[in-house]
């Protein structure tokens, strides 16, 4: 199968790889003129690209007719992730991309073990992880990873600013049946999922966010913080017909 690359430089039947991808193709993959690649324009349209010129690490391709990417789910899911410790967020992002999430927004809350530190630099690494995962699993967009929100109030403010068809708050204290909630809301296009860090949520946080969310559970077992968002995402994708 041809290697997959994302680029926004698509016009008039041609495409150009980014400097980073050009370096990878030329120096790592030992690519050459005539090679074929899958080119995705980050808007869920992809092409078969044939390399027509290589100048240093600048790579030019001619493109086939574009066609829709089949890998994108019919619902756009944003994951709000309680910030975990010891690098667990990297796995949550990597596997979340594979399962179909479109955006990741880490946040700090009262019982987070981790504390904010160089979050701008970390975001750049997390975004690269998301990009590599998107290439590997055949996504048609580049899922976005935002800089972590500094506290729970910032999370609530974000929910008040943004428009979602449904915001699901996964609480270890339980809530409504996820299947029943989704059955009441057919045809959803944008969903937000919120899961906590190792320490869960305080009673004050649960009260603060209550007017903004629908509280749901994930069964009788308490899931680890790195398991909960992936279980929630997989369940939502299954119940909306996006893992069939």
pLDDT in tens, 11-21: 999 999 999 99
- Is position 164 within any domain? yes
- Is position 125 within any domain? yes
- Is position 121 within any domain? yes
**Which residues does 121 contact at the CB level (< 8 Å), separation at least 6?**
none
Q: Are residues 90 and 46 in the same domain?
A: no
- Is position 54 within any domain? yes
Q: What is the pLDDT of residue 114?
A: 87
Q: Are residues 210 and 159 in the same domain?
A: yes
CATH of the domain at 227: 3.40.1280.10
Count of structural domains within the chain: 2
CATH of the domain at 52: 2.40.240.20
Give the number of other Cβ atoms within 10 Å of residue 210's Cβ.
12
- What range defines the domain where residue 60 resides? 4-68
CB 135 within 8 A of CB 180: no
Residue pLDDT, tens place only, 87-146: 899 999 999 999 999 999 999 999 998 888 999 999 999 999 999 999 999 999 999 999
Q: Are residues 227 and 206 in the same domain?
A: yes
Token readout for 180 is 């029943």
pTM recorded for the entire structure: 0.93
Q: Are residues 92 and 62 in the same domain?
A: no
């Amino acid at each position: 199968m041809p290697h997959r690359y994302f680029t926004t430089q698509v016009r008039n039947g041609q495409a150009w790889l980014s400097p980073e991808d050009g370096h990878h193709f030329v120096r790592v993959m030992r690519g050459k003129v005539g090679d074929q690649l899958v080119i995705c324009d980050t808007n869920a349209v992809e092409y078969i690209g044939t390399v027509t010129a290589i100048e240093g690490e600048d790579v030019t391709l001619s493109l086939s007719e574009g066609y829709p990417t089949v890998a994108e789910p019919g619902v756009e899911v944003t994951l709000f992730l309680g910030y975990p410790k010891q690098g667990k967020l990297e796995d949550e992002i990597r596997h979340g991309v594979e399962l179909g999430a479109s955006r990741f927004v880490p946040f700090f809350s009262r019982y987070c073990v981790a504390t904010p530190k160089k979050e701008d630099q970390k975001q750049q690494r997390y975004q690269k992880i998301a990009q590599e995962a998107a290439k590997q699993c055949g996504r048609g967009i580049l899922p976005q990873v935002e800089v972590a929100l500094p506290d729970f109030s910032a999370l609530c403010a974000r929910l008040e600013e943004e428009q979602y068809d449904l915001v699901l708050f996964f609480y270890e204290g339980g809530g409504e049946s996820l299947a029943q909630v989704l059955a009441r809301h057919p045809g959803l296009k944008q969903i937000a999922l919120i899961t906590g860090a190792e320490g869960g949520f305080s009673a004050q946080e649960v009260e603060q966010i209550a007017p903004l969310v629908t509280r749901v559970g994930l069964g009788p077992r308490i899931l680890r913080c790195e398991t909960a968002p992936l279980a929630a995402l997989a369940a939502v994708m299954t119940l909306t017909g996006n893992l069939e």
